[in-house]
Amino acid sequence: MNKEITGVNVSPRLINDDLAPEKEQKWGWYSIFAFWMSDVHSVGGYVFAASLFALGLASWQVFVCLILGISIVLYFANLMGKPGQKAGVPFPVVCRMSFGVLGANIPAVIRGLIAVVWYGIQTFLASSAFIVLILYFAPEYERYTEGSFLGLSPLGWFGFIFMWVTQAMVFMFGMGAIRKLIDWSGPAIYLAMTLLTGWMVYKAGWQNIDFNLSESSLTGWEAFTQMAVATALVAGYFAGPTLNFSDFSRYCTSYKDLKLGNFLGLPINFVLFSLFSVIIVAASMPVFGEIITDPIETVNRLDNGLVIILGAFTFILATIGINIVANFVAPAFDFSNVSPQKISFKMGGFIAAIGSVLITPWNLFNNPEVIHYTVDVLAAVIGPLYGIIIIDYFKIRKQEIDLSALYTEDKTSRYWYQGGVNKKAVYALIPSTAAALFASFIVVDLAHYSLFVGGILGALSYWFLMSYEWQLNVKKRTHISFNEV
């Protein structure tokens, strides 16, 4: 496989060491599997799995939804990861094929901004677990939880800044350190979750655990519609990291290894982690007298010091893992793509980290209505990007990549379009995003499906705009040789 850039004038506006094709693809299936473990094993993943019962579904119905939803994620992870693995390039460079070498900054900045929001929220969640540890060892510091500055107590600020710096230190060592973190953190979290689950079952008594966590029981059409909602929620939960999956698949040795890692890391891993989460939540009723879906609160109420330490450390490690994987690496590449010579991979990540403080994520997280609107808006924007990128690579280009054209401003190159921007991609993005937003906030029955509404409309509109022109261009360019991957 040839990943050399040859035969063109490489533009400094389009390349640096981080955005250039990866020549040493050393990640095997286990590293991809570990990537998804880091992405799944989080406070958000724990709460999300348990929250599906609030829809009024029985245990077996939730299980079916988990399988169906994560299978959709698996399918799109295989699609979105393929061009990155094949060419060894990150997500923003993959976007140059459909949006143009300069227009790729549109999807890159969108994905980067999404990561900024979630980086802040996940850091806040990790700091909450860290504060549990502080108060266990030094309960006298409870007085520092009173009062606030910009909505956060003095102890809250200390915990947030500590976790912010800890994550930054890992990131400073680059992708090698990140790979080592995700390779061992996933199994470590499983060990801790197994012990925590065992402790909760021991305290509750297996015979006292009721897995029917919903207050109502739905049947017939109502059950079917809620199962559809649950399935869509599972798919939407992983929309962000799946979109920029090329940021990680670029390091994988082969597409076969990529698919194996995806299979183990998504359906197998996700269902197992969800099972642990649901058992702990179900056991909280007989142990505490109420259902507790917040794992940090569960740990805080336990009466065993070792379990408290183990539980808090587990969720700190889990949240750091997902934050670096899903919300630090993505903007690092995305913001670097905006100005490769001025913004390195590390600087791009720190831009996101600084932005995550400025949005005061604790205020976002503590306002369910704001979180609801934020998630719906982000899903509406992400969907069309999926549709455009996938249709472009698999249907329009038939999986051909002109590697050299991804890094040149030559006006005759394949991905230059008009001034470096493919206006047809923009024309497809705007109305499909508007339709997805309309579905989210106006047609409330479609709100949970905005990701699919935007994705389908984006794909169809882009295909309509591009297919005829692409066929003409192919005929015109048959005599031109290019560096094909």
- pTM for the model stands at 0.87
pLDDT band at residue 337, thresholds of 50, 70 and 90? Answer: very high
What pLDDT is attached to residue 274? 86
Structure tokens at 245: 């999956």
What is the torsional sign of CA 263, 268, 271, 276?
negative
Q: Are residues 348 and 312 in the same domain?
A: yes
Residue with tokens 């009466």: 303
Residues 100 and 241 in one domain: yes
| C-alpha to C-alpha distance for 17 and 341, rounded to whole angstroms | 10
Q: For residues 318 and 408, what is the distance between their CA atoms, to the nearest angstrom?
A: 40
- Chain-centre distance for alpha carbon 173: 21
Q: What is the mean pLDDT of the chain?
A: 85
Residues 6+ apart with CB under 8 A from 255: 82, 85, 86
Res 340: pLDDT: 93
pLDDT at 99 (0 to 100): 97
Give the end of a domain, one of 366, 398, 426: 366
Alpha carbon 240 to chain centroid, angstroms = 4
DSSP string, 114-172: HHHHHHHHHHHHHHHHHHHHHHHH-GGGGGGGSS-BTTB-HHHHHHHHHHHHHHHHHHH
332 and 480 assigned to the same domain: no
Asked if residue 91 lies in contact with residue 244, where contact means CB atoms within 8 angstroms, the answer is: yes
Q: Is 241 exposed, middle or buried (0-12, 13-18, 19+ CB in 10 A)?
A: buried
Q: Which domain holds residue 451?
A: 381-485
Residue 144 lies in a domain: yes
Evaluate if residue 484 carries a pLDDT over 90.
Answer: no
Q: Comparing C-alpha atoms, which of 464, 329, 452 is closest to residue 382?
A: 452
Percent with pLDDT over 90 in the chain: 39
More confident residue, 314 or 144: 144
pLDDT at residue 199 is higher than 70: yes
At 239, is the secondary structure helix, strand, or coil? helix
How many structural domains does the chain have? 2
The pLDDT confidence band at residue 76, using thresholds 50, 70 and 90, is: very high
20 in any annotated domain: no
Residue 139 and residue 300: Cα distance in Å, rounded?
12
List, in order, residues 6 or more apart from 150 with CB less than 8 Å away.
360, 363
Residues 218, 260, single domain; the answer is yes
Residue keyed to tokens 């900024």 = 116
Q: What is the CATH number of the domain that holds 345?
A: 1.10.4160.10
Q: Is residue 113 part of a domain?
A: yes
Q: Is residue 9 part of a domain?
A: no
Q: Is residue 13 part of a domain?
A: no
Q: Looking at residue 376, what is its pLDDT?
A: 67
Cα–Cα distance for residue pair 467/398, rounded to 1 Å: 12
Side chain identity, residue 27? W
Last residue of a domain, one of 366, 396, 418: 366
